[in-house]
Chain A
Amino acid sequence: MTYSHLEEVSGEVGAFQLKVRKKARYVNEDLCTGCGACVEKCPTTVEDAFNIGLGERKAIYKYFPQGIPSTHCIDAENCRQLGQGKKCGICAKVCQAGAVDYEQQDQLVDLEVGAIVLATGYDVFDPSVIPEYGYGRIDNVVTAIEFERLLSASGPTHGHLDRPSELALRVEIAALDKDLKKFNRQIDKLEEKHGKKTAEFVKEFKAGQAGEDGDFERWASLAEKAAVAEEKLAPLNKKEAAAHTAKKLAFIQCVGSRDFRFNRFCSSYCCMHSVKEAMIAHEHDNETTSSIFCMDLRAVGRGFEEYKLRGGNSANIQYIRGRVAEITEDEAHNPIVWYESTTTRKVEHETFDMVVLATACVPSAGTPKLAELMGLDLDENGFFKTDSLIPLDTSRPGIFVCGCAQGPMDIPESVAQASSAAARAAEVVFTAPKAAAGGGK
Chain B
Amino acid sequence: MSNDVMVLGGGIAGIQTSLDLAEMGIQVHLVETLPCIGGKMAQLDKTFPTNDCAI
Interface residues of A (CB under 8 A from B): 1-6, 14-16, 18, 20, 25, 50, 52, 62-64, 66-69, 71, 73, 111-122, 145, 148-149, 151-153, 155, 159, 272-273, 275-276, 279-280, 283, 301-304, 306-307, 366, 370, 402-405, 410-411, 414-415, 417-419, 421-423, 425-426, 429-430, 432-433, 436
Contact = CB atoms under 8 A, between A and B. Distances in A.
B49 A425 contact: no
B20 to A, nearest CB: 4
Given A4-B31, A15-B2, A62 B36 contact: yes
Interface of B: 1-21, 24, 26, 29-51, 55
23 contacts: A2-B34, A2-B37, A25-B35, A52-B43, A67-B42, A111-B29, A119-B7, A119-B11, A122-B40, A148-B45, A149-B43, A149-B45, A272-B48, A276-B47, A302-B49, A306-B49, A370-B8, A419-B20, A422-B16, A422-B18, A426-B5, A429-B5, A436-B1
A12 to B, nearest CB: 11
Given A71-B35, A117-B7, A426-B5, 15 more contacts: A2-B35, A5-B33, A111-B6, A111-B29, A113-B6, A116-B8, A121-B9, A272-B49, A276-B46, A403-B9, A411-B41, A415-B13, A418-B16, A426-B26, A436-B1
Contacts of B31: 1, 4-6, 20
Nearest to A269: B48
Main secondary structure on A side of the interface with B: mixed
Given A15-B2, A68-B38, A276 B48 contact: yes
Contacts of B14: 117, 119, 121, 403, 418
A118 B30 CA distance: 10
Contacts of A426: 5, 20-21, 24, 26
A18 B6 contact: yes
Nearest to A415: B16
A6 B8 contact: yes
B8 to A, nearest CB: 5
A113 B4 contact: yes
A64 B42 contact: yes
Nearest to A275: B48
Contacts of A429: 3-5, 26
A373 B43 CA distance: 29
Nearest to A144: B44
A251 to B, nearest CB: 13
A1 B29 contact: yes
A422 B35 CA distance: 24
A116 B48 contact: no
Nearest to B21: A422
Nearest to A280: B46
Query: 7 closest Cβ contacts across the A-B interface?
Result: A403-B13, A67-B36, A422-B20, A119-B14, A418-B16, A307-B49, A119-B9
Contacts of A64: 36, 38, 42-43
Contact of A113 (B2, B16, B24, B47): B2
A301 B50 CA distance: 12
Contacts of B37: 2, 67-68
B10 A2 contact: yes
A151 B8 CA distance: 30
A402 B46 contact: no
A361 to B, nearest CB: 9
A404 B34 CA distance: 17
B7 A307 contact: no
B4 A145 contact: no
B16 A4 contact: no
A66 B55 contact: yes
Given A62-B36, A403-B14, A414-B13, A425 B5 contact: yes
Contacts of B4: 111-114, 429
Given A418-B20, A419-B16, A120 B9 contact: yes
Given A114-B3, A117-B6, A73 B35 contact: yes
Contacts of A279: 51
Given A272-B49, A415-B13, A62 B35 contact: yes
Contacts of A155: 45
Contacts of A306: 49
B29 to A, nearest CB: 6
Most A-side CB within 10 Å, residue of B16, B33, B35, B48: B48
